[in-house]
Structure 1
Amino acid sequence: MKTPPTNLVVLKKTRRQPEPGDIFAFQLEQMPGRYFFGRVVATDAKIGNFRDFEAVLFYLYRPSSPSKTEIPPLAPTDLLVPPILTNRLPWTRGFFEVVRSGPNTAADLLPQHCFRDVRGWFFDEYGNRLPEAVEPVSASGVAGIGAIDDDISKALGLPLKEDASSD
């Protein structure tokens, strides 16, 4: 599968699977002197009726640093975008580089994750229906690298990368 053009920079490819509690760095080509960070929340999230597929639930944070080893405080109240569900490709393709590992604490996490499906119903990350929306609300479904890049770019006011191969 071809990787779409992105503003994300390849940092370090790995075969290591993401684990809950991993803190990872990512960088954008328009901001070469800044690293942004994310946190792996869960690696066993369920999406819709796909009970055999386990998605990675992760956060992306607004604070940045000039060094990927100088990790700023990362709070669930300072997310760049709502929580995202994805596969393992952002790590294996090197867009997300794990820079610290350790368990998540309750203070690291939102008290409730909420995803809206195409019907407008709300679910947690394990497919349990919620009676109402709990902010921040995310779209239900697996986000690929292109969609993740678009979310980050929009949140930071950067132009979206266009796929010139279809011209």
Structure 2
Amino acid sequence: MLMPDDLYLFGRIVATNAAGPMGKGIVVYVFRARSATLAPPPRAELVPDRLLLPPQFVNRYPWSQGYFATVEHRPLLPGEVLPVHCFHEVIRDRYVDENRAPMPGPVEPVGRFLLNSVRTLDDAVSEALGIPLAP
């Protein structure tokens, strides 16, 4: 759950044990589904072809500071997770999966292999929605 303006955005945790850019990380999806309430959207709105952003790495900070809130626990079903997560590791200019295993090339959607701060995630969401960036 994010709220870049007056509407909530919804996401899902798809991996909690990824060998991310700064050690163990969480891979999240941020979807296009929006609502004025925290009522969870239907499952059909929380599938990979409804992503607002490519998969993102975060840590527990967004939850601990109230930027994210857990509104429901749903087991992941077949078709609700991409077959492969692909990230661009800029420093080495290569593509890797969520465990930093090299990939032969990009597999869309391609995320950035970095641990997002609340600010970098906010900027990415704002850009995707056409909302001005925070100062």
Under a length normalisation based on structure 1, what TM-score does the superposition of the two structures give?
0.75
1:76 matched to 2:52: no
Superposed CA deviations along residues 36-74 of structure 1, whole A, max 9, x for unmatched, are: 1000011111135x5xx2111000000212221141421
Partner of 1:153: 126
Following the alignment from structure 2 to structure 1, what is the Cα–Cα distance between the partners of residues 14 and 124? Answer: 18
Q: Report matched runs for 1:85-164 at 5 Å.
A: 85-118=57-90, 119-162=92-135
Unmatched 5+ stretches in structure 2: none
1:26 matched to 2:26: no
Unmatched 5+ stretches in structure 1: 1-24, 163-167
C-alpha RMSD of the superposition: 1.3
CA drift at 1:93: 0.6
User: Once the two structures are aligned, what percentage of the paired residues are identical?
Assistant: 36
Matching residue's letter, 2:35: S
Runs of 4+ in structure 1 off by over 3 angstroms are none
SS at match of 1:100: coil
Larger deviation: 66-75 or 113-122?
66-75
Larger deviation: 97-106 or 146-155?
97-106
Superposed CA deviations along residues 100-150 of structure 1, whole A, max 9, x for unmatched, are: 103212211011100111222111001111111100111111010000000
SS at match of 1:160: coil
**Contact 2:40–2:71, Cα closer than 8 Å, also in 1:** no
Number of aligned residue pairs = 132
User: Rg larger in 1 or in 2?
Assistant: 1
Matching residue's letter, 1:91: W
